[in-house]
Amino acid sequence: SINITSILEELHILDNNQAWSTGQQWGESVNATTKTIYSPVDGKAIANVAFATADDYDQVIKTAQNAFESWRLIPAPKRGEIVRQIGEELRAKKKALGALVSYEMGKSLQEGWGEVQEMIDICDFAVGLSRQLYGLTMHSERSRHRMYEQYHPLGIVGIISAFNFPVAVWSWNAALAWVCGDVCIWKPSEKTPLTAIACQKIASKVFEVNGIEAGVSSLIIGDREIGELMANDERVPLISATGSTRMGKAVGAAVGKRLGRSLLELGGNNAIIISEHADLNMSLPGVVFGAVGTAGQRCTTTRRLIIHESVYDAFKAKLTSAYSQLRIGDPLDETNHVGPLIDKDAVQSYLNALEEAKAQGAKVVVDGGVLGGDGFESGCYVKPAIFEAENHFKIVQHETFAPILYIMKYGSIDNAIELQNGVPQGLSSSIMTTNLREAEKFLSHAGSDCGIANVNIGTSGAEIGGAFGGEKETGGGRESGSDAWKVYMRRQTNTINYGSDLPLAQGIKFDF
Ligand code: UN1
């Protein structure tokens, strides 16, 4: 167990009941409602948090608009230097912040620290990026003309994040947005506001020390209403939203209606193909971590296994034996593999899914259930389950945010790829094989239709250096590495005539 009071103290968030922050300013909300945040680890209250109102939101937006006017004029490498310092602060606070992530959200301590490590990594990435916001130059078809493109800051970026990666996803967006010259307003999940408050304190202090005015990093604690205000607000040119497909469809529609830009990172229904050419021993930890890690609450969690008929029984036996050795319990105890679900609502969805799977004809391989008694007082600990199921079952087509794995058989590689692609979501996918032909087929145009496709590693645990996101109902957005930064900027094409006449393009003549 951890000393939560000393962690809250180290992160300067003891007795925090402020609903919003524009950095240096923290606001008591007018008419705010207060909620108590309970840990899924032990069911105990961690702190009371105030929820912002629409008036608070308006004040935050106005401060952000002002801050953008000056922040965008600071040279990108200088903005990068500030992000570098934020990365340094995160390094210094990694132990405490990671532990708070673990305690507030319920993921293992290692994963809590891992999440803070992803924040540090994206800061490093953003520092380099701040000197590489490259545009192309083109050759004009007209003589004595020059053409090039440049990327300008966009404005306010609204970040809506989910409980399962309560801090990393914010940093993927914020670190890039800041070096791009944008300002950020963050609405964290209402289930995990404390880790967000801790991050905001860390970032704000760095901005303040550097003499940057309030509003470059803002936080607003709120529920759905605040998310809707942001999505409908023309003052927010980009909304980056991570969460369920249902939420993403609502956000995407609202932002689309005003022709704003949205970056959506929504549900996954990720599969691993276990080929007859797979190294089964090597595949096992990838599958088990993918399916039960973070108690099945990653968007990249392995939810389906598509196993070649010739190795089906052998792999099923290995899997069953591995599941029987899983230790479920306090995620702060590093000997445990599986921690709790986020809350009792999540437990109910898990139980409903178990029932539906059975009703729809799935066969139990490893049965689920809720754990009770000593150490399980929060009521949020559940047993990872495995079902034999068919891909078309309604429950298999649906993302349940819990450790439930559906396994199925295939005969040919084409059939396996068809099953892999045969769901509405398109986030992450893998094939376990030592056969070059089928690995390349899986990665080809006719292969996986997902944003992420891996060979001989699982579906979860992507590095920050790649663009992260997926297709179809996953929303199409890309965050984090590669050239994901471009969505945070507006592109401008410039043509300059340094000659003494004015020729028109496409050979058009217009003499008078
Ligand atoms: C998420 O679940 O929203 O690839 C993000 C992974 C992590 C990120 C998951 N790096 O599993």
Whether 99 shows a pLDDT value over 70: the answer reads yes
Dist. CA 246–CA 237, nearest whole Å = 21
When pLDDT is cut at 50, 70 and 90, the band that residue 26 belongs to is: confident
Q: Tell me, rounded to whole angstroms, the distance of Cα 313 from its chain centroid.
A: 35
Place of tokens 């949205």: 262
Q: Write out 110-175 in H/E/C secondary structure.
A: HHHHHHHHHHHHHHHHHHHHCCCCCCCEECCCCCCEEEEEEEEECCEEEEECCCCCCCHHHHHHHH
Q: Dump pLDDT digits (tens) for 395-407.
A: 999 999 999 999 9
Average pLDDT for 274-298: 98
Give the long-range contacts of residues 250-255, CB within 8 A, separation 24 or more: 251/160, 251/227, 252/475, 254/228, 255/231
Dist. CA 257–CA 284, nearest whole Å = 46
Q: How far is the CA of 24 from the centre of ligand 1 (A)?
A: 30
Provide the pLDDT for residue 14.
74
Which of 116, 172, 460 to mutate for ligand 1's pocket (most ligand atoms within 8 Å of CB)?
460
Q: Whose CA is nearest to atom 7 of ligand 1?
A: 461
**What torsion, rounded to 10 degrees, do the Cα atoms 362, 367, 370, 372 define?**
160
**Average pLDDT along the chain:** 96
Q: Whose CA is nearest to atom 6 of ligand 1?
A: 461
Provide the pLDDT for residue 24.
79
For the sheet with 452-455, list strands across it: 363-366, 385-388, 404-410, 302-308, 270-274, 428-432, 452-455
Provide the pLDDT for residue 34.
87
Which of 110, 299, 301, 430 to mutate for ligand 1's pocket (most ligand atoms within 8 Å of CB)?
299
Q: Which two tokens stand for residue 288?
A: 């088990």
What percentage of the chain reaches a pLDDT higher than 70?
98
Closest among 467, 487, 450, 492 to 262, alpha carbons compared: 487
Which of 101, 119, 165 to mutate for ligand 1's pocket (most ligand atoms within 8 Å of CB)?
165
Q: Which atom of ligand 1 is the closest one to the Cα of 297?
A: 2
Provide the pLDDT for residue 18.
82
Q: How far is the CA of 147 from the centre of ligand 1 (A)?
A: 39
Average pLDDT for 468-477: 98
Pocket of ligand 1 (CB under 6 A): 164-165, 169, 242, 298-300, 460-462
Place of tokens 């980056």: 240
Provide the pLDDT for residue 17.
67
- The residue from 111, 118, 190, 265 that is catalytic is 265
Q: Dump pLDDT digits (tens) for 69-78.
A: 999 999 999 9
Q: How far is the CA of 201 from the centre of ligand 1 (A)?
A: 24
Are the beta carbons of 485 and 176 closer than 8 angstroms? yes
What is the residue-wise DSSP string for 251-293? HHHHHHHTT-EEEEE----EEEEE-TTS-HHHHHHHHHHHHHG
Q: How far is the CA of 81 from the centre of ligand 1 (A)?
A: 27
Q: Which atom of ligand 1 is the closest one to the Cα of 300?
A: 11
What are residue 104's phi and psi, to 5 degrees?
-80, -35
Whether 15 shows a pLDDT value over 80: the answer reads no
**Alpha carbon of 126 to those of 117, 167, 469: distances in Å?**
14, 16, 18
Give the long-range contacts of residues 287-290, CB within 8 A, separation 24 or more: 287/319, 287/458, 288/319, 288/322, 288/323, 288/326, 289/458, 289/460, 289/461, 290/430, 290/458, 290/459, 290/460, 290/461
Q: Which atom of ligand 1 is the closest one to the Cα of 452?
A: 4
**Alpha carbon of 175 to those of 82, 144, 253, 393, 485: distances in Å?**
10, 39, 26, 41, 10
Q: Is 474 helix (H, G, I), strand (E, B) or coil?
A: coil
ipTM of the prediction? 0.96
Q: Whose CA is nearest to atom 3 of ligand 1?
A: 299
When pLDDT is cut at 50, 70 and 90, the band that residue 428 belongs to is: very high
Q: Dump pLDDT digits (tens) for 330-379.
A: 999 999 999 999 999 999 999 999 999 999 999 999 999 999 999 999 99
Whether 31 shows a pLDDT value over 80: the answer reads no
**Alpha carbon of 196 to those of 88, 103, 431: distances in Å?**
18, 13, 36
Q: Dump pLDDT digits (tens) for 476-511.
A: 999 999 999 999 999 999 999 999 999 999 989 998
Q: Which atom of ligand 1 is the closest one to the Cα of 298?
A: 2
Provide the pLDDT for residue 110.
95
Provide the pLDDT for residue 27.
82
Q: Which atom of ligand 1 is the closest one to the Cα of 299?
A: 2
Q: How far is the CA of 258 from the centre of ligand 1 (A)?
A: 29
Are the beta carbons of 336 and 329 closer than 8 angstroms? yes
Closest among 428, 471, 112, 171 to 300, alpha carbons compared: 428
Dist. CA 389–CA 404, nearest whole Å = 11
Q: How far is the CA of 36 from the centre of ligand 1 (A)?
A: 27
Provide the pLDDT for residue 156.
98
List, in order, residues 6 or more apart from 7 with CB less than 8 Å away: 96, 99, 100, 103
**From 12-26, 45-59, 82-96, 234-248, the region with the lowest mean pLDDT:** 12-26
Place of tokens 């391989």: 365
265 is catalytic: yes
Q: How far is the CA of 367 from the centre of ligand 1 (A)?
A: 26
Provide the pLDDT for residue 1.
66
When pLDDT is cut at 50, 70 and 90, the band that residue 30 belongs to is: low
Q: How many residues are listed for the chain in this entry?
A: 512
Provide the pLDDT for residue 29.
64
Whether 438 shows a pLDDT value over 80: the answer reads yes
Average pLDDT for 61-69: 98
Average pLDDT for 90-103: 97
β-strands 425-426, 238-242: how paired?
unpaired
Buried b (16+ CB within 10 A) or exposed e, 189-200: bbbbbbbbbbbb
Region for residue 507 given its phi and psi (left: phi exceeds 0; alpha: psi -120 to 50; beta: otherwise): left
Average pLDDT for 297-309: 98
Region for residue 117 given its phi and psi (left: phi exceeds 0; alpha: psi -120 to 50; beta: otherwise): alpha
Instruction: List 124's β-bridge partners, or say none.
Output: none
What are residue 410's phi and psi, to 5 degrees?
-140, 160
Are the beta carbons of 241 and 264 closer than 8 angstroms? yes
**Alpha carbon of 89 to those of 108, 112, 381: distances in Å?**
22, 16, 33
Q: Which atom of ligand 1 is the closest one to the Cα of 162?
A: 3
